[in-house]
Amino acid sequence: MSITVTTWSLEQTSPADLSPAREPAADAGVRIVRAEVPSPEFSRFLYTSVGADVSWTDRLEWSRERWEEFLDRPGVETWVAYERGTPAGYIELERQDEGVVEITYFGLLPAFRGRRIGGHLLTWGIRRAWDQGERLPGQPPTKRVWLHTCTKDGPHARDNYQRRGFRIFDIKTETEA
């Protein structure tokens, strides 16, 4: 059986494009921390936990070595949202050439969706993408932040990105077997 998948590519070209989400209430116990030590096991846990019900499959075959190789590169950052000490979701950034940063993965574990954590985490990650050039020695300032989402992602993903100020710059529709 084949399915039709639409993929939207979205971008911001200035930090001023960001329309921040409201932060969760202080008593919600939400904090966001960078996973500074590359951990293939932890990253695979986040990837499979967040992506299991939204058809993330491209990294399922990655070996531990492949995860480690990816995570250990300069400009790859994983920021994790925690609610009262429990991982709630993550955002992964990958620096590319000429001041471009891609948000390669973003999402929440199913139990944490609908609790005002996603917009806050996305806002945090976008800010880290925009200031990444300042934080990484020898890197140019960030000039563009981009991502893609598709019909296989969560039903609110594209709306969340657009509410945060991303604009669509490309749409592709393909049939997958």
Please give the model's pTM, rounded to 2 decimal places: 0.95
The pLDDT of residue 27 is 87
Q: Determine how many CB atoms are found less than 10 A away from the CB of residue 25.
A: 9
Question: Which residue, 54, 34, 30, 53, is CA-closest to 42?
Answer: 34
List the domains of the chain with CATH numbers. Answer: 3-176 (3.40.630.30)
Per-residue pLDDT of the chain (177 residues; tens, 9 = 90+): 889 999 999 999 999 999 999 998 888 899 999 999 999 999 999 999 999 888 888 999 999 999 999 999 999 999 999 999 999 999 999 999 999 999 999 999 999 998 889 999 999 999 999 999 999 988 999 999 999 999 988 888 999 999 999 999 999 999 988
* pLDDT, tens digit, 9 for 90 and up, residues 127-163: 999 999 999 988 999 999 999 999 988 888 999 999 9
Q: Using one digit for the tens of pLDDT, what is the confidence trace for 113-131?
A: 988 899 999 999 999 999 9
